[in-house]
Amino acid sequence: MKRLTNDRIWSSIDALAHRYGLSVSGLAKRSGLDPTAFNKSKRATGDGRPRWPTTESIAKVLDATGATLDDFATLASSDPGAARRNVPIPLIGLTKAGAGGFFDDGGYPVGDGWEQVQFPRVDDENAYALEVTGESMESLYREGDILIVSPNAPTQNDDRVVIRTTDGKVMARLLVRRTTNTIELASLNPDHPNFVFPLDRVEWIARIIWASQ
């Protein structure tokens, strides 16, 4: 058997999540652990040293999934990148996303109302997909296009983003600028005007990292 390196152990956890149609956050929650326990940010210390998952957390994962220790060892000895080639991403229609129950306060997908879409090479375990509906984002995005959104990716001016306001509206826009008190967003449809919101009206903002187009 190949040496069980830190990367291979974490890749085995990724592979188990993929096998059971879960994000690593979903796997952690099913195992009774903190939802962020397996996030990329938890896999190294602040000074960059590798951090290993505990034997207790691995035991809880095996118990929650029904996988055996042999399964885990086999996955850990395989190609570390294999688990990331096709990842199930939660999917929901953009117009439906504004309804309650699909996001937590931090903008992470929650609940059981999501479908799934397969997508390769996503580095954010909390990434999700929104399906464009209607014509409000033409000519940039058309009905049926899929937007992959990363709630953990940093945002900056000129990024395409998804934003949720405190009154429950979820919309895709271009981030123009952000000040200490306001945020300005340009519509993706040139026929629609720019929006300027007080920051206290913004519940969360996340970057669009890919679109099917």
The predicted-structure confidence for 80-94, as pLDDT tens digits, reads as follows: 455 445 678 899 998
197: left (phi over 0), alpha (psi -120 to 50) or beta: beta
The CATH number of the domain covering residues in 88-211: 2.10.109.10
Q: Report yes or no: 108 and 152 within 8 Å, Cβ to Cβ.
A: no
Q: Report yes or no: 155 and 124 within 8 Å, Cβ to Cβ.
A: no
Tell me the per-residue pLDDT of 157-179, one tens digit each, with 9 for 90 and over.
988 999 999 988 888 999 999 99
Farthest CA pair distance, the chain: 61
Residue 56 burial class via C-beta count within 10 angstroms: exposed 0-12, middle 13-18, buried 19 and up: exposed
Domain boundaries, the chain: 6-84, 88-211
Q: What is d(CA 50, CA 55) in angstroms, rounded to the nearest whole number?
A: 15
| pLDDT tops 70 at residue 211 | yes
- Give the β-pairing of 87-93 and 128-131: parallel
The per-residue pLDDT of the chain, averaged, comes to: 83
Question: What is the model's pLDDT at position 21?
Answer: 65
Between 20 and 1, the higher pLDDT residue: 20
Whether the predicted model's global pTM rises above the 0.85 cut: no
| pLDDT tops 70 at residue 213 | no
Q: Report yes or no: 194 and 187 within 8 Å, Cβ to Cβ.
A: yes
Tell me the per-residue pLDDT of 54-111, one tens digit each, with 9 for 90 and over.
889 999 988 887 777 877 877 776 654 554 456 788 999 988 888 878 998 889 998 8
Question: What is the model's pLDDT at position 1?
Answer: 45
CA angle in degrees (0–180, nearest 5) for 88-153-64:
40
Q: What is the CATH topology of the domain spanning 6-84? A: 434 Repressor (Amino-terminal Domain) (1.10.260)
